[in-house]
Chains A and B, each alone.
Chain A
Amino acid sequence: MEAYLIAIGIFAGIYLLLALGLNLQFGMTGLINFGHVGFFCIGAYTSALLATNGVPVALSLAAGGFAAMLAAWPLGVVSIRLREDYFAIASLGFSEIVRLVVTSEGWLTKGVQGIPGIPRIFPGVSSQMQSMLMFGLVMVLCLLAILAMRRIVKSPFGRMIEAIRDNEEAVRSLGKEPAGFKMQVLLLGSLLAGVAGGLYAHYIGYISPDQFIPFITFQIWMAIIMGGVGRISGTVAGVIILMTFLEGSRFLRDVAPFIPEVAMASIRLGVIGLALMLFTIYRPQGLMGDYTKR
């Protein structure tokens, strides 16, 4: 049981890194990024490819983060000035392009066959210890990311990006150029996504392009919306709620044994969907949402 909870914890931590980045982009700056999974994918592949070719894992993880950040830069250059919903489309397109490139460039990424046997982060320890250490590492990284976010929110930079979110024109009329700030936010969020991707690749041990579908992006969106957009505590709460719904529903049959095994899978997805809908209906601003403004 503990090992299962730890596995959930690791996934939750990885999702949290993704969600913190997205919350910075959407919740604080108003940047609608529908292509988050693209950076996750770049981080995962960069780290996996380097590590399978003998680069130490600590380096490859960092390289994954930087590669994702680097990839965000051209996307930002061409599309950051787009109005928010147009940026959403551009970013969604970007993540699909990433997936297609990874699929097609078989000489590098082994294409649809995927990369098996990605080394673990902590070599030479038992699998139980491995999970514990991995969990610890993910939690430390999450904590660092949360602290960084808190600093950002409190800094002049944080006030600036919130102003951009609330009224971009006003910011511009005060003589500040929003594009530069948005770019920095995009890069920061991508860095987090890239690191999350690296952690994911080393934890799962096998990656293939079909693991990086837009569905992941929307799961992260679900988490930050449920938790409360624009709040760090909300992001944390949202990820916990999401994982509780996803994994808790597996035990539905233990409380309702009359459900046939095979029907269970479909009922489970139905229950998750229903819970998400009820949540957004009765708690539209999210669990930790800011109820002072509409």
Chain B
Amino acid sequence: MKFNRRQTLAGLTALLGTAAMPRLSFAQDAGVLRIGALNPITGAGAPYGSGMQKMILQAAKLVNDAGGAGGRTLEVFAEDTQTQPQAAVLAAKKLIEVNKVNAILGTWSSGISLAVMPLTNEAGIPLFNTSGAPALSVAPANEKHLGYRFQATNDRFGRAFAKIAEKEGFKRPATMAFNNASGIGNTEGFRKAWEANGGEVVASVVYEPSQPSYRAELQKVLDAKPDVIIMGSYLADTTVILREWYQTGEENKWIIPAWAANPKLAEALGPDVVEGIIAVDSISNEGSPAFAAYDAAYQEALGQPGLSNVYAAMTWDMVIVLALAMEAAGPGADIAAITAKLHEVAGPDGTKVSTFAEGKEALKSGPINYEGASSVLDFDEFGDVTPDFSASVFTGGEAKRNYIVKI
């Protein structure tokens, strides 16, 4: 097949034409509240992104099936952040300007949330995120108090690490952190909490991602003879580090966030290596009816247990909390009035509810407290949540929950 110049040009013009002439729908339907699902479908967040987006769609469907909220149904517009700030900014612009969404839900990774938040602030709409960076709580990022965070801050994770290390009786902790905001946030949060208690961190190392070996960094930490190493890490690097650590024959313990110390890690390394590792996680509110509802939806949509994606539990809660706030604000309320109700419906006072339908019913007779799938969801004045944390210990290749820490 051979194209001549004219044909190629004509073809290209047609292609560009179709791309430039989408069917744009400007009309705001009074019976519909538009929300944007802005999730990391591709890029570094890809393992979580699809699940997060699917749960937003599922939860919105559930709300609509229950007759909508505040007399309106939800319409979801989905976009991909590509886990890249530039792409996320343009995607958010499109959601805000073209789709006229009233809220953006589910940004992952602090770099993305921090880049998108100025846009949502400008538009006066809330941004629900799942990022850990402390900067997201305060001005300038959150100057308008429109940022709501469904994930524990890195600081809180650090505090949980310190509590657990204290409880386990460790004396000489060292830290290793993946060089990004979240990794360092975890270990620095630990250091702050630990030193506030009069402890001392014997060594800290920050390492660059995607190295074939971390022997040098590991050796530097091990030279300080720690009795436990606190990690701010991800799965890939943790796998390499633990393998190399096992080869050294050292006997220190590990405290690792559960997104890194998960069943896949045990699978990759074998039960001997991971034996005794303490995995720390913010507890999805497992055992709660909200979690059961989320879990069922997640199983159905992705064929995996809901526990495998804590972020999807958060995006699930985002939709339900928003819908409950819409219901509480009443028909025709604008987004500012709805946002003002978020604190109220999420608790801590009022009748405990765990699904949208339940909450809608209970709202008729008084204030409610939505206890979510991801945590009990009580926002503080910064729009942050404080979940409980669990410490699980690997025995025989499986993580068994030992105890729960409240911070």
Contact = CB atoms under 8 A, between A and B. Distances in A.
A250 B79 contact: yes
Most buried by B among A113, A116, A255, A262: A262
Interface string A246-281: 111111001100000110111011000001000100
A245 B115 contact: no
B380 to A, nearest CB: 20
A261 B57 contact: yes
B89 A264 contact: no
B78 A247 contact: no
Contact of B140 (A117, A211, A266): A117
Interface string A124-151: 0001000000000000000000000000
A204 B89 contact: yes
B202 interface: no
B181 A248 contact: no
A122 to B, nearest CB: 14
Interface string B251-270: 00000000000000000000
A262 B53 contact: yes
A250 B183 CA distance: 32
A7 interface: yes
Interface string B1-22: 0010000100010011011101
20 contacts: A1-B24, A4-B93, A4-B96, A104-B179, A111-B184, A113-B184, A116-B114, A204-B115, A208-B111, A248-B19, A248-B20, A250-B79, A255-B18, A261-B53, A264-B78, A265-B49, A265-B82, A266-B41, A269-B42, A279-B12
Nearest to B8: A282
A206 interface: yes
Chain B interface helix/strand/loop/mixed: helix
A210 B93 contact: no
Nearest to B134: A113
Contacts, number: 131
Interface residues on A, range: 35 or more
B307 interface: no
A117 B142 CA distance: 10
A179 interface: no
A4 B179 CA distance: 34
A274 B82 CA distance: 18
Interface of A: 1-4, 7-8, 11, 100, 103-104, 111-114, 116-117, 127, 204-206, 208, 210-211, 215-216, 241, 244-251, 254-255, 261-262, 264-266, 268-269, 275, 279, 282-283, 287
Contacts of A249: 19
Interface residues on B, range: 35 or more
B110 to A, nearest CB: 8
B23 A254 contact: yes
A111 B181 CA distance: 8
B50 A211 contact: no
Interface string B286-330: 000000000000000000000000000000000000000000000
B22 A255 contact: yes
B90 A8 contact: yes
Contact of B19 (A4, A103, A251): A251
A208 B76 contact: no
A216 B20 CA distance: 23
B180 interface: yes
Nearest to B91: A250
B94 A247 contact: yes
Contacts of A127: 122
B78 A210 contact: no
B97 A261 contact: no
B181 A244 contact: no
Given A265-B80, A282-B3, A254 B22 contact: yes
Contacts of A216: 86
A216 B76 CA distance: 30
Contacts of B37: 261
A102 to B, nearest CB: 11
Contacts of A3: 93, 96-97
A112 B3 contact: no
